[in-house]
Structure 1
């Protein structure tokens, strides 16, 4: 067992939001960095309509040399890596909340459950009311599974993390590939795969048509319809199981105080930087080469049976580069001059991550959807990435301005107030302008 039974709550103990002075600065910085990467990823693939376009149109937008380079860099360094980092930080946050709740003698399960239920409500509203790509609802549902590991040993947590991240996807991919071949034969399996792809393509076409229309109502109706199409799919359940594995890695890192006590783990971070780079380069490189060969028609997933292992190899590549990002920021913490510049930019955004995540959706819909500026399906990769980085850069001074006056972002305030069942004080206490007398 990881911890003994927590002591009985002391008299007068009650749950409360974490104070600003109790925050782990490196976590806020990494959360801000992850939010930037997630914004680029969402804009590149979804808000811009790229994931919904026919292959010929995607190739036309990416044909110029600059666009090819930007696309290659995106898929190697950005695609899915920051979602992994976000998931890791979610599990780490659970570990920190658990430690602090036990230190105050407050039961974690009721508080954490209310927190997840509120997040689930925000996520479902975001998914059906604004954008199908929401991760908040999934994080909330998977977050309840973390409670199953509340008293599990570190060894158990690590084993389950590896099973969920590596074992389950590999097994599912093998079953999906080989069982249809054995049950129906190669030709029938190929036809079933083509039928499934055609159904997916039709759903995406209808979604794109709705988003491209000049009507807000039609766009959101298409969004809700596509959400109903993707939610029951088995691959979403598989993604949630992998997400739980990433949460567990964050939980384990929190138990070892990996981000809370950077100085003590400096040697570990150096090893993480090296091995993460090796695994990340090999995993992402192999995935990228395989996808190029598939597009060129050199390999066929239906005939080249070794390709069933690619998703797992790709997941290891994602974890490797995500580890590099964590280690790089942790080691940057040791360089005080650079660190203060970085934290002034990213930490305020990280403290308002929920607010900015939702704000990014609203602004992006206004820019890309047909009822807005109508740029969906028309932005080449370089312009899409540049625009996204400009918008994120504007969120930095907005965060600094807001947090100079208020304790939380607006969405964070709502989340906390509903979790604790009472409105939280929003404004910062005014600083005294009178110097205290010295006796």
Structure 2
């Protein structure tokens, strides 16, 4: 089955799924942008007291957390094969195209991380993407088996650790230990607040507290990223992400993946809420076991997107968001900078989790409006153009040429 598109043509389904993925990612990233980092991982740490906060946590946990980031990683692997195949078809060496792209992406990611936000994913993609190049010529079956082995290695280890922890009887914290933890959290909040005075202050804070974090991400969660990229390569080469499979196959895959995934997350959310976010319940059910559903949910959401948005005005807008996904991803952080840094909006730490999510729908609307408007006039998104130009060390044509 042919899976490589003709040169200079777009694969619409890839763009649509990518657009949905980058929009979904912002639904959870807004919390990391607007309040202390630890609250991103454990909600009660900050800005979490009202029913609205709990509802928004539950909805994001059930439908979004981990799965849309995984979907984005899957699409990165698929796009890697697409770019390399087209380079080879044009008579260029694949590695001479791929590695400059990853080097340029790493530069963007490091600027993003050190000056703007701790949650950058681009650095990890660039570093792991360099490793993933070694697998790009493998067949879909081999890629799938390799990805499955990596998932089992990483998630199996995490599950084993969860089981061991659950069998240990840990003594309850003393009042003194609780007070120390609260004091430590208060100090962290104050320091992160100071870091949001300006990008320069953020740089100083980051260099002082976590200077090597982008590079340490490779041994920490790079195995999962690599597995997701390999899965994306396999799904692209098999024709799944191109939308060439029979509709009944997409229906079955969506049902077989999304039903158990959503069922688990609904039951886990109910258990956590019932336990009032006790760490003994929260950690295994939210921070550990759901990892098994990250690739499952990514595949299911991809199948569902292909079923629902093959054509139409909304599909075209999602595709435009996907074509400018790099710009949209980084522009979300720029929106966060304007809202939360002291030299602009100064709202960092002032909004609860539920209030922060109210920012999401307007940003989604902005993505759906500006992306097609821009692409009607220009060939690439602004940051896509910068990435392409930097990768090739030559300014690329930007203005869209009207058809004769």
TM-score when scaled to structure 1? 0.78
| 1:264 partner SS | coil
CA contact (8 A) 1:89 1:247 kept: yes
Equivalent pair of 1:174/1:309 in contact (CA under 8 Å): no
Contact 1:355–1:409, Cα closer than 8 Å, also in 2: yes
Greater mean alpha carbon deviation, residues 322-331 or residues 241-250: 322-331
Change (3 A) 1:215 1:105: closer
Q: CA RMSD in A?
A: 3.6
Shift in CA distance, 202/380, structure 1 to aligned 2, threshold 3 Å: closer
Q: Is the aligned partner of 1:404 residue 2:380?
A: no
1:100-115 equivalences under 5 Å are 100-115=86-101
**Partner residue, 1:359:** 331
* Residues 348 and 399, structure 1, Cα contact 8 Å, conserved in 2: yes
Q: 1:297 Cα shift? A: 4.0
Q: Which moved more, 1:199-208 or 1:418-427?
A: 199-208
Give the gaps of 5 or more residues in structure 1: 4-16, 302-306, 433-439
Unpaired runs of 5+ residues, structure 2, are none
SS at match of 2:48: helix
Q: Map of 1:83-94 to 2, 5 A cutoff?
A: 83-94=69-80
- 1:377 partner SS: coil
| 1:390 alignment partner, one of 362, 386, 399 | 362
Q: 1:224: how far off?
A: 4.1
Could you tell me whether the CA contact under 8 Å between 2:247 and 2:307 is conserved in 1?
yes
2: distance between equivalents of 1:106 and 1:415? 19
Alignment of 1:279-358 (within 5 A): 279-285=260-266, 287-289=268-270, 291-292=272-273, 295-297=276-278, 299=280, 313-333=289-309, 339-358=311-330
CA distance in 2, matches of 1:236, 1:295: 34
Note the 1:125-164 alignment, pairs <5 A. Answer: 125-164=111-150
Identify the residue that residue 304 of structure 1 maps to in structure 2. none
Is 1:218 matched with 2:194? no
- Measure the CA separation in 1 of the matches of 2:257 and 2:184: 34
How far apart are the structure 1 equivalents of 2:302 and 2:70?
11
Q: Which of residues 210, 231, 234 is equivalent to 1:252?
A: 234
C-alpha contact (below 8 Å) 1:284/1:318 kept by paired residues: no
Q: Cα distance, 1:86 vs. partner?
A: 0.4
TM superposition shift of 1:121: 1.1
Deviation at 1:125, TM superposition (A): 1.4
Shift in Å at residue 294 of structure 1? Answer: 6.1
Q: Partners in 2 of 1:147 and 1:232 — Cα distance? A: 18
TM superposition score normalised by structure 2: 0.84
Task: Name the larger-Rg structure.
Answer: 1
Change (3 A) 1:77 1:172: closer
Distance 1:100 1:359, change over 3 A: same
Give the distance between the partners of 1:72 and 1:148, measured in 2 at CA: 39
The residue aligned with 2:246 is: 265
Higher relative contact order (CA 8 A, sep 6+): 2
2:64 to 57, 78, 83: 78
Kindly tell me: are residues 131 and 320 of structure 1, through their superposed partners in 2, closer, same or farther at Cα, counting changes over 3 Å? Answer: same
Q: 1:99 aligns with which of 82, 85, 92?
A: 85
